[in-house]
Amino acid sequence: MIFGVNVCNMNNDIKVDLYSSDFSSESKEVTFIDTVIKAGFPSPAQDYLSGTIDLNRELIRHKETTFLARVSGNSLHDAGICDGDIIVIDKSLEAKNGDFVVAFVDGEFTLKEFRYDEVEKCAWLIPHNKDYEPIKVTEENEFLVWGVLTYTIKQLRR
């Protein structure tokens, strides 16, 4: 279900299309392998199939306040959040240092890493791409953390 919000800032460094989670239809379970998958030597995974997993239950803790979004832009590329990724955003969580957040600053939305600076008594929204500058947020700014990223879903084969 489309939530109907297109989040983009004036610098066009990142854009997010928001979607709500659809819990109205049947559970969408996929086969789950209940073992550690090593990135080294092969393992006979077939011996460890243990049922199914529901991605809604696994990825979404607070269904009323959780949204999915598709990222468009590259300001967080070096953090592994890339153009085309699907992100899970929970609006019920309070941002902590190091969290990635969808934030509203002076009339614009942005997706960045959140840090609070105790010395300067300000927040910083940190990009992870050398082509972009951090955004300093002080009490003079209109500022709101709209939601905290909890998961990133990547498409590896296009």
Residue range 89-98: average pLDDT?
A: 95
Q: Enter the tokens of residue 6.
A: 């297109």
Q: Does residue 158 belong to any structural domain of this protein?
A: no
Domains identified in the chain, total number: 1
Q: Does residue 42 belong to any structural domain of this protein?
A: no
Task: Give the tens place of pLDDT for each residue, 32-55.
Answer: 555 555 566 665 655 555 677 788
Residue range 15-28: average pLDDT?
A: 60
Q: Does residue 134 belong to any structural domain of this protein?
A: yes
Share of the chain above pLDDT 90, in %: 46
**Ranges 56-60, 85-89, 97-101, 134-138: which has the least confidence:** 56-60
Q: Does residue 11 belong to any structural domain of this protein?
A: yes
pLDDT for res 34: 52
Domain span including residue 108: 2-37+47-153
- Pairwise CA distance, residues 7 & 19, whole Å: 11
**Does the pLDDT at position 12 exceed 90?**
no
Distances (CA, A) of 74 to 12, 85, 123: 10, 11, 21
pLDDT for res 56: 83
Collapsed DSSP state (helix, strand, coil) of residue 73? strand
End-to-end CA gap in the chain: 23
* Residues identified as active-site: 75, 112
Q: Helix-strand-coil percent breakdown of the chain, rounded to 5? A: 10, 45, 45
4 vs 150, higher pLDDT: 150
Give the CATH number for residue 54: 2.10.109.10
Residue range 111-121: average pLDDT?
A: 96
Distances (CA, A) of 96 to 48, 69, 77, 100, 147: 37, 21, 21, 9, 11
Q: Give the pLDDT band (50/70/90) at residue 125.
A: very high
Q: Does residue 141 belong to any structural domain of this protein?
A: yes
Q: Does residue 87 belong to any structural domain of this protein?
A: yes
pLDDT for res 117: 95
Q: Does residue 123 belong to any structural domain of this protein?
A: yes
